[in-house]
Amino acid sequence: MSIERELNKRSGSKCELCAATENLKVYQVLPTQKGGIDESILACSTCIDQIENPDHVDLNHWRCLNDSMWNENTAVQVVAWRMLSRNRAAGWPQELLDMMYLDEDTLAWAQATGEGEEDENKIIHRDSNGVILEHGDSVVLIKDLKVKGSSMVAKQGTAVRNIRLDHENAEYIEGKVDGQQIVIITQYVKKI
């Protein structure tokens, strides 16, 4: 059974965050260990857009978390915690966070992206020009890079789409080059 079919069954064909019934997609909650249904949620395009683009957030939309934060599925709890943490300055999200309980492993997963940290403690990834990089951005290599542990050379000018950030080191990002997932040092990329 496909992940999407399993998530539709689990959620009753509704967004697991806001209960919308249209434009539903599988959203993988990063960072993942094994992938699959336990690390994914079924979410509407509105929720996904606001999760991935913090400047698109409509706070009233996220009042739905008052209900979905109690969902029994860990991935839903993680996303709810992250969105409440991101918007806690508005007041009511902090009240919901104070009521929410996550076990130690779930909380570590929720915090893995840096949500909930004070801005001065966050790891910020910057490209060779000092532009801030975010998860999902596209970059281009500014020099040929030899890939450790392989004979592959990632050529200058290669576009790397949908990057992932290393949440422990501001100098590392991950992306696929020629179908191979590699770690790239941020000083050798430029955001496009």
Q: Are 113 and 159 within 8 A, CB to CB?
A: no
Question: Which residues are paired to 160 by β-bridges?
Answer: 139
Q: Which long-range contacts (CB under 8 A, 24 or more apart) does 151-155 make?
A: 152/177, 152/178, 152/180, 154/178, 154/182, 154/184
Q: For CA atoms 20, 22, 23, 29, give the dihedral sign.
A: positive
At the top level of CATH, which class does the domain 137-191 belong to? mainly beta
Concatenated DSSP letters of 155-178 = PTT-EE-S-EE-SS-TTEEEEEET
Per-residue pLDDT of the chain (192 residues; tens, 9 = 90+): 689 999 999 999 999 999 999 999 999 998 888 888 999 999 999 999 999 988 889 999 999 999 999 999 999 999 999 999 999 888 999 999 999 999 999 999 998 887 766 555 567 888 998 888 888 889 999 999 998 888 889 999 999 998 988 877 889 999 998 888 899 999 999 999
| Phi and psi torsions of 150, nearest 5° | -150, 170
Question: Would you kindly state where each structural domain of the chain is located, as residue ranges?
Answer: 3-112, 137-191
